[in-house]
Homo-oligomer: A and B are copies of this chain.
Amino acid sequence: MDKKTAVAQLGAIAQEARLDIFRLLVQAGTPGLAAGAISETLNIPNSTLSFHLKELSHAGLIAARQESRFIYYSADYAAMNGLLAYLTENCCAGDTACCPDSYCSPPQKG
């Protein structure tokens, strides 16, 4: 994981609207949701939503796929897991027991 990438991805979700969007997609699973459905669910105007979707997409946290007139957005789970692993990498100098939950991770390549 590249540091610039991590900063971009964290910045992408460090914003209320985008955090809502991302979590909604994380919970929606691989099929994802159409832009209109997201807009309705979260009550975000189209132009604003479009701006935020582009930010998330540009950061690599979500993917878009066109299907007829709709564009479906879905969470990129591999990217999400990569980011979480980067944050917890080599936690407590490798002593994973120091973390109460299961998030500590050994060092990653890259």
A9 to chain B, nearest CB (A): 8
A96 to chain B, nearest CB (A): 11
A47 to chain B, nearest CB (A): 21
Q: How many residues does chain A have at the interface if contact means C-beta atoms less than 8 Å apart?
A: 40
Task: Please classify the interface of chain A as helix (H, G, I), strand (E, B), loop, or mixed, using the class held by over half of its residues.
Answer: helix
Q: Which residues of A contact B (CB under 8 A)?
A: 3-4, 6-7, 10-11, 13-16, 19-20, 22-23, 26-30, 77-78, 80-81, 84-93, 95, 98-103
Min C-beta distance of A85 to chain B, whole Å: 7
Assuming the A-B contacts A7-B14, A16-B7, A92-B30, are A81 and B101 also in contact, with contact meaning beta carbons closer than 8 angstroms in the complex? yes
